[in-house]
């Protein structure tokens, strides 16, 4: 029998939660949730917690600055 090697996933950047996103954007966690619900800020759930890619936060800020 051959042993299976564990799957290695290389993440492009750091996963962060709503509190970090809110602090970074200078808004409340409720506002972050509204941005997620509207589709303006990409996010996904891990269990009961929302997770965002740090690069998506940076992209959102860049888009807001150019608007």
In angstroms, the CA 41 to CA 21 distance is: 10
Burial of 42 (0-12, 13-18, 19+ CB in 10 A): middle
* Coil vs helix vs strand at 15: strand
Summarised one tens digit per residue, pLDDT across range 2-53 is 677 776 777 678 999 999 999 999 999 999 999 999 999 999 999 999 999 9
Residue at token pair 């965002």: 52
**Stated pTM of the model:** 0.79
What are the residue ranges of helices labelled H in 1-67?
18-25, 29-38, 54-66
């Amino acid at each position: 029998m051959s042993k299976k090697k564990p799957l290695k996933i290389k993440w492009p950047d750091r996963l962060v939660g709503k509190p970090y996103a809110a602090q970074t954007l200078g808004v409340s966690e409720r506002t972050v949730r509204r941005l997620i619900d509207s589709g303006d800020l990409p996010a996904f759930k891990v269990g009961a917690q929302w997770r965002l890619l740090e690069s998506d936060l940076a992209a959102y800020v860049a888009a807001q600055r150019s608007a």
